[in-house]
Structure formats: structure tokens, C-alpha cells
Amino acid sequence: MMSTTPANPQRPPLKNDRYLRALSKQPVDATPVWMMRQAGRYLPEYKATRAEAGDFMSLCKNAELACEVTLQPLRRFELDAAILFSDILTIPDAMGLGLYFETGEGPRFRNPITCRADVEKIGIPDPEGELQYVMNAVRTIRRELKGEVPLIGFSGSPWTLATYMVEGGTSKAFTKIKKMAFADPQALHLLLDKLADSVISYLNAQIAAGAQSVMIFDTWGGVLSPRDYQEFSLQYMAKIVDGLTREADGRRVPVTLFTKNGGQWLESIADTGCDAVGLDWTTNLDEARARIGDRVALQGNMDPSMLYASPERIREEVATILQRYGNGSGHVFNLGHGIHLDVPPENAGVFVKAVHELSRQYHQE
């Protein structure tokens, strides 16, 4: 599918713009598909490149290698978008918290946020300073994509970034961040405000470097009560949406918000002014479309664990989700969260192929 939008003379026109068209609810010939964490540990070629880099952050900070792993899944599968290979914790790391990765334990911080004084000390990172390696990766990937598919940039939400910064890493009970929320809410709001400003600057720099769409991952918004979600997560995502560059290279730059376990708040998320709302697998797509699908596009929402199933079962699930959405554009097919590291790559291939094959009937004029 060719784009009719004039291109930047230094950048080739998009050969496949299904993904951007679907986010704008424009007609498409088939439902576009990409996968969260599509460049990652389920691919043997990714493991080889990471071994070459030495460790995860070294891979993120090497523009050529980050570009290589971004492109790897596109060589295997007919995906409709590439997503920048990076990590949501780049901003806290640039704030001086000392990010490192413990084998088998995930990300940790040497200098977590413990009190208001810690919050007051941190500044807004310069996206072309401390975070220039991310922008270098965006520029390199955009160049090497040669207009094949759009490039997605991303960030964690302020609430999700704050949970890691205050907890010192991953958490199951979120006691430290909730203690700050309820015992010293002013300190947490100061942190969230700094993070929102940082995300605006960071994503706008990604857009300037070549990202054609951006996504905000609110991984831990679903651990909050409805009232606290509005106060500590959603209002800051709304601030980000308001501050983003929304046009580049002569076309709209769509923004997608994704709150895991956020199905009960779809209307409020859509009210932020975002272009699309991401769904996990706990919300039925037909119900979500009935609630908000006339206002925004929807992204999702197959359970990633379905990729362990037989090819027949995967195709059946794809067919069911497509049927739930129904006719017309405005759906970007994705998993409801990131692909699991031990999924057979050939099963991911079955998934992608099934989306394109089975969706065409829903896009006939």
C-alpha cells in the first residue's frame, strides 16, 4: 500500500503505511500487525547480537547493534511496523539512578528514590545529551528501514517509571511507591511531573530523529484504584499527549496509550486526546470498540501465551479477535503484552501471516 503523502526529500516515501492509516482510522487493505517485544530473546539472532554487545545496556547504547535487532524480526515476518529497540528505563538511568540488570531478577537501581530530597535533586535529561544514544539509534533505524514500514518510538509512563525508581526495581506489592503516594503525595507528584516533562522532551526528540508514531507503556497503571489511577497515572499521560509533536514529514504522528489491566478506564484514556488505546487480553475487543472505538483506534489484544499453541489454534484465535472487532479500519493487531522469550519463532510467523490472510474480508469496500 503506497502513501500519497509527500515525503521529506531526505527520507523515502513509506511503501507500507497500513499501520499509520489504521491509527488514523483510514481505509486499509488488511489489518496491520506488529508485536510488543518483537525484537527480543525469542529470536536466536537477537541472542547472538546481544552476546556480541556484551550486555543489555551496551546493546541499547550501540546504534548499529540496536538497529540490527530492530530489523531482525522484519526479516523473518511481514510486520507492518518496526519498534525502536531500547528500554523504558533509559530516562531514570539518565537521571543518575544507576540502572543495572541482575541475571534472572530484571532491572535494578543503585540509587533509588527514597524521599522528597531525592526527587528535588534529579533534573530533566537532555535527549540529545545523556540520551543521545537513543536518538542515534532512531536515526540509524529510520535510515536503514528505507521506507519499508513506519518506525515506532516509545517511553514508559510517568507512573510506571516512578514505580521502578522508588521500588528500586521490579515489585509485586508496590509498597514503597504506594507509601509515597499516600504518606507524601506532594513528593510523588513532583516526581511524576518531572517525569512527564522528561517524557515529552524524550518522545519529541525521537519524533524529530525519525519516529513516525509513539507509544506510552503504562505497565503498572493497573495496580491502582480507579481514583488513584486518575491522580497518579492518567493525568500525567494526558499532559504528555498535550505536549507531543503531532505532525512530522508532512503527516500526523499518532500516539498510543497502553495501560496493562486498564480495561475499566478505556473511556478516560480515550479522553486524553490520544489516537489509539492499547488493550490487554482481559477486555473483549468488541466491547472496547462499542465503548470507545468511534473516537480512537484500538491496538491488541491476543494473549501472548496463545503463541505456545498449535498453528491451528493460533489461527482460530486470530479469527476470533478479528471477528470481534468486525468490519472497517481502526484496529492494529498486537499481543496484549510482550511476546514471551521461549515462544517458537515459527509460531510468531503463523500469527502474523494469519492476521493478514484472515483480515482482508473485513476491509472490502
Domain spans, the chain = 18-363
Tens of pLDDT, residue by residue over 4-57, are 333 444 688 899 999 999 999 999 999 999 999 999 999 999 999 999 999 999
Question: How far apart are the C-alpha atoms of 207 and 252, rounded to whole Å?
Answer: 11
Query: Do residues 263 and 278 touch, judged by C-beta distance below 8 A?
Result: no
Question: How far apart are the C-alpha atoms of 318 and 148, rounded to whole Å?
Answer: 25
Question: How far apart are the C-alpha atoms of 304 and 313, rounded to whole Å?
Answer: 13
- Phi and psi at residue 299, to the nearest 5°: -120, 130
What pLDDT score was predicted for residue 11? 80
What pLDDT score was predicted for residue 93? 96
Point out the catalytic residue in the list 11, 41, 291, 324. 41
Annotated binding site for substrate: 37-41, 87, 164, 219, 337
Annotated binding site: 37-41, 87, 164, 219, 337
Whether residue 252 lies in the annotated active site: no
Question: How far apart are the C-alpha atoms of 198 and 92, rounded to whole Å?
Answer: 10
Query: Do residues 300 and 334 touch, judged by C-beta distance below 8 A?
Result: yes
What pLDDT score was predicted for residue 9? 46
Nearest to 81 by CA among 250, 219, 254, 243: 254
Helical (H) or strand (E) element with 278: strand 276-278
The DSSP result for 5-61, as a single string, is SPPPTTSPPPS--HHHHHHTT---SS--B--TT-SSTTSHHHHHHHHHHSSHHHHHH
What pLDDT score was predicted for residue 349? 98
C-alpha 313: how far from its chain's center? 26
CATH architecture of 18-363: Alpha-Beta Barrel (3.20)
Grid cell at residue 108 = 535494578
Point out the catalytic residue in the list 164, 202, 229, 236. 164
Q: Which residue pairs from 91-97 have beta carbons closer than 8 angstroms and sit at least 24 positions apart in sequence?
A: 91/125, 91/131, 91/155, 91/156, 91/161, 91/195, 91/198, 91/199, 91/202, 92/161, 92/164, 92/165, 93/57, 94/125, 94/130, 94/131, 95/122, 95/123, 95/125, 95/165, 95/198, 96/122, 97/122, 97/165
User: Which regions of the chain are under pLDDT 50?
Assistant: 1-9
Whether residue 164 lies in the annotated active site: yes
Whether residue 362 lies in the annotated active site: no
Query: Do residues 194 and 134 touch, judged by C-beta distance below 8 A?
Result: no
What pLDDT score was predicted for residue 3? 42
Query: Do residues 195 and 163 touch, judged by C-beta distance below 8 A?
Result: no
Question: How far apart are the C-alpha atoms of 44 and 40, rounded to whole Å?
Answer: 9
Query: Which whole-number Å values give the CA distances from 52 to 49, 55, 76, 83, 144, in the listed order?
Result: 5, 8, 21, 21, 20
Whether residue 228 lies in the annotated active site: no
Point out the catalytic residue in the list 11, 29, 37, 362. 37
Instruction: Report helix, strand or coil for 230.
Output: helix
Residue 205: partners with Cβ closer than 8 Å, 6 or more residues away: 127, 128, 131, 134, 135
Whether residue 308 lies in the annotated active site: no
Point out the catalytic residue in the list 17, 80, 87, 280. 87
Query: Do residues 43 and 339 touch, judged by C-beta distance below 8 A?
Result: no
Grid cell at residue 258 = 497502553
Point out the catalytic residue in the list 11, 29, 50, 286. 50
Question: How far apart are the C-alpha atoms of 277 and 172, rounded to whole Å?
Answer: 25
Residue type, 333: F
